Each structure stands twice: as structure tokens, then as C-alpha cells.
Amino acid sequence: MIKAHISEIKSLLKTPKNVVIVPHKNPDGDAMGSTLGLCHYLIKYSHNAVVLAPNDYPEFLKWLPGDEKVLKFDSQVKESSDLIENADLIFTLDFNALHRAGEEYGASLKASKATKIMIDHHQQPDDYAKYVYSDVSMSSTCEMVFNFIEMLGDIEKIDATIATCLYVGIMTDTGSFRFPSTTSRTHQVIATLIDKGAENSEIHNNVYDTNSYGRLQLLGRAMQNLKVIPEIRTAYITLSQAELDEFNFKKGDTEGFVNYALSLKGIIFAGIFIESKAEEIIKISLRSKGEFSVNEFARAHFNGGGHTNAAGGRSHTNLEETIDKFISILPQYKEQLSQK
Ligand code: 5GP
Ligand code: MN
């Protein structure tokens, strides 16, 4: 983000504003951590700041400080519309295109006259915000919010509450500091957050060690459904709606399952295909190791996108047809996927 923009944002923030902070639909740890972290920071300057999520998010994020004040566009339509209408400033965090907030929410954000600020690390950002801090090399939007606060000269304003929120998103988006996006700078930011009061061990516990019995049983089923195509170093998992129902599926239960497929020795491309009867789609999560771009793959074939090594998409045909399509596409990538 250029210096001139930072000083413009600084002067915008000099007087209290109505601020709406937006994470992407089906918010994950980085989306909720970054929006809540920024919200707590802005509240310190007496801004009327709220996090307005498109929809609900998993239980394992519901302990985050400020969770009880988060509003949801899909169930609180009137309050949400009023907030957007009265907003002076809209921050969109952890996504690169307004439709990622959902069709209706995205359209009302687009129609809003508020000044928009994007902070995001996804590829190919759309051009809707006046101020754009986009950097695909960043581990997480939470690391970028830390940088943003630093650019505003306010590191000393980061307290334990803000630090806790930002820690969560860096932790979840880096797979607990193991993905290649994790840099020495990421660790330095994490160290500062711990110094500011983020209880690292407790945070890991809250996010990763609060499984339900049903979720672990569902993981067992997902592992039984794992298929491997060794010659193109690809593995994939399917879960039907009936299987989700059998194990009392709750939002967030399948988070991280796809990484087990990627953890197989020699596998560099992994996917999970999850049937959603309610949305009438198959939700797809894709992961890769090395140069194979699942962002390109998801964009080209499954109306999706994301990052080089982690992307998502959707299919409007049934589970079986979606898998058939996936398998039929793979030969196009044989060369890239069979390279050592
Ligand atoms: P996940 O597979 O965990 O849902 O998402 C992996 C990454 O891809 C995340 O950064 C997420 O924001 C992005 N992503 C997931 N689904 C979609 C999608 O349908 N469209 C786009 N553009 N990005 C997605
Ligand atoms: Mn993210």
C-alpha cells in the first residue's frame, strides 16, 4: 500500500466514522480473525465499527473476542441494510471480488457510496475499492492487518484482544506455520502478538482441540472414501449429503480434511468434493504442493479461485457427475502433475 494512501486513510480515520467490516462468505479463521482484529482496533478510536459477516461460521471460531457482536447479513437483513446504507467506510477483508460476500450482499456493497478499502492476499483482485492493499505473497489477511496497523504507526495500540484475533488467522491460514507462505516475518509478527498477550497454546486448543465425536467419525468416513491416482500424484475425497447427515454434520466439520489427502507420500494435488443439498451444489476444496496452481484449475473448471496452493470452487451437477468431470480433466494436466 502506497504511503500517500496511508496518509489519506489516516486523515479519514481522524474523526469517528460508521465502519462496516466484511469477511467473505462461509468465513474461516483468517476472515473472522482479521475482521474482528481490525474492528477492535477501530473501536479504540471511537469509530462505530461492526463486523457484518455474510453468513454463519464454525463453532471453533465462536470464542473469538467480539464474536457476540458480529452481525450476519443472511439472517439480519434489516439491520444489515441499515448499516450498509449509513456506512462511511467499508473494509472488505480476505476476499478479492464482491460476489465472494454472496450475490445479494455483494450487490448492496457495490451499490454503497461508502469509501471502500480492500485488504486481501488472494490472486487477481477486482477493482472496486478506492484503497487496495493486496499482496498474494502474504501468509494471511491477519498478517496484513498487522502491517496495516503498523503502517498507521499504531503498533502500540495492539492489545491482547487484537493480538488474539490476528494470531488465529495467521495460525489457520498457514496450517499452524507450515505452509510455504510462512516467512521469517510471519514468525516475527507472531512473536509480537504473543508479547502483546496472545495466549498461543490456548488459541491452538480452542481452534483445534474442540472436536465433536461426530466430526471425528465423519473424518473416518472421509478417509475411507479417499481415492488415489498415483501416476498423476493426485488424491481426492468425496462426502455425500447422506454421509454428512449420518454424522450430524455441523458447519466447519470438514475443515482441514483435504489436507489428509495431500499428506499422502508423493501426492501433490488433492481435492475434496462435498455435497450440499441446501445450496444444490458440490463444494470443492483443492490443495497442491509446489508449482501446480489450484487457483488456475478452480477458475478454469469449477467457477472458483483462491491461491496457488489452496483454492475452492463449486459444481452444479451431482456428486458422481462432478467426480467424472474432475477425472476427465486430469489428463490435461498429466505433464505438470507427473513431474518430480
Ligand atoms: P477452502 O478450500 O478452504 O474453502 O478455500 C481455499 C481458498 O480458496 C481460500 O483462500 C478461499 O477464500 C478460496 N476459495 C474457496 N472457494 C472459493 C470460490 O468459490 N471462489 C474463489 N474465488 N475463491 C474461493
Ligand atoms: Mn486468508
Q: 202 CA to middle of ligand 2, Å?
A: 21
* DSSP assignments along 69-122, one per residue: G-EETTT-HHHHHHHHHH-SEEEEES-SSGGGG-HHHHHHHHH--SEEEEEE--
Q: Whose CA is nearest to atom 21 of ligand 1?
A: 305
Domain ranges (residues) in the chain: 3-208, 213-338
Rounded to 10°, the helix 160-173/141-151 angle is 140
**What pLDDT is attached to residue 3?**
79
pLDDT digits (tens, 9 = 90+) for 205-264: 999 999 999 999 999 999 999 999 999 999 999 999 999 999 999 999 999 999 999 999
pLDDT of residue 340: 60
**Please, are residues 169 and 155 in contact by the beta-carbon 8 Å criterion?**
no
| 193 pLDDT more than 70 | yes
Closest C-alpha to ligand 1, atom 10: 306
Kindly state the average pLDDT of the residues 136-148: 98
134 pocket-lining for ligand 1 (C-beta < 6 Å): no
Task: List the grid coordinates of 99.
Answer: 460476489
Q: Whose CA is nearest to atom 20 of ligand 1?
A: 304
Q: Phi first, then psi: what are they for 89, rounded to 5°?
A: -135, 135
The predicted-structure confidence for 3-53, as pLDDT tens digits, reads as follows: 789 999 999 999 999 999 999 999 999 999 999 999 999 999 999 999 999
Taking the CA of 139 as reference, the closest ligand is: 2
For residue 11, how far is its CA from the centre of ligand 1 (angstroms)?
34
Ligand nearest to the CA of 30: 2
The single residue listed with the C-alpha cell 455483494 is: 106
Average pLDDT of the residues in 87-105: 97
Neighbours of ion ligand 2 (CB under 5 A): 30, 94, 141, 173
pLDDT score, position 76: 96
Instruction: Supply the pTM of this predicted model.
Output: 0.94
CA-nearest residue for atom 6, ligand 1, is 311
Percent over 70 (pLDDT), the chain: 99
At 88, the pLDDT band (50, 70, 90 cuts) reads very high
pLDDT at 1: 76
**Closest ligand, as measured to the CA of 181:** 2
C-beta 304 within 6 A of ligand 1: yes
233 lines ligand 1 (CB under 6 A): no
Residue % of the chain over a pLDDT of 90: 98
Fold type of domain 3-208? inorganic pyrophosphatase (n-terminal core) (3.90.1640)
How many whole angstroms from 58 Cα to the centroid of ligand 1? 16
**DSSP assigned state of 23:** P
Residue 7 is predicted with a pLDDT of: 95
Question: Which of the listed residues 28, 120, 276 should we mutate to test ligand 1's pocket, taking the one with most ligand atoms within 8 A of CB?
Answer: 28
Model confidence at 81: pLDDT above 80? yes
Measured in Å, residue 124 CA sits from the centre of ligand 1 at 13
CATH T-level topology, domain 213-338: Diaminopimelate Epimerase; Chain A, domain 1 (3.10.310)
